[in-house]
Amino acid sequence: MAEFELDDGQYEAATQRGAYERAHAPVPSSVRFDRKSGRILVEFNNGAALMVPARALEGLEQASDEELAEVELAGETGLHWESRDVDFTIAGLMQGIFGTAKFMDGQRRGGQSRSAAKVAASRTNGARGGRPRKNLP
């Protein structure tokens, strides 16, 4: 891995940029699990909110409502579940990153599976004329 050296001016400039960005970026003010919708709700100091399907997150697929309700803010950048030892960055969740690349690929491919039951159902549906048309106004 390459080593980097910063002189005092570069360090000071980076520190000032960070302070500016922090002062002008929304900061999470609270987080909770909404049992009714099954989502994690992160609220920000500017009134914005982020909702994420809780059981779509790697490590939380089988979590109970009580475990999901244990969610807490990890500083200003993350979410943490102590009993599950699970952490996510808020920025990652905003980008739709709900787990490792392997987990995400498995989730994506789930609907593309070609089981014998799925093939048989597709053939039966096709014999009936296919998927019914939507009645659009």
Q: Give the CATH architecture of domain 24-127.
A: 2-Layer Sandwich (3.30)
Q: How far is the C-alpha of 105 from the C-alpha of 14, rounded, in Å? A: 36
pLDDT tens column, 28-48: 999 999 999 999 999 999 999
Q: How far is the C-alpha of 35 from the C-alpha of 54, rounded, in Å? A: 10
The 8 Å CB, 24+ separation contacts for 61-65 are 65/33, 65/35
Other CB atoms within a 10 A radius of the CB of residue 74 amount to: 16
Strands (DSSP E) contained in the chain are 28-34, 39-44, 49-53, 72-74, 78-81, 86-89
Two tokens at 9? 């001016």
Mean pLDDT calculated for residue range 96-120 = 77
pTM: 0.66
Buried/exposed 78-106: b ≥16 CB within 10 Å, e otherwise: bbbbeebebebebeebeeebbbeeeeeee
Two tokens at 38? 């099954």
CA torsion through residues 117, 58, 103, 55, sign:
positive
- Per-domain boundaries in the chain: 24-127
pLDDT tens column, 43-97: 999 999 999 999 999 999 999 999 999 999 999 899 999 999 999 999 999 999 8
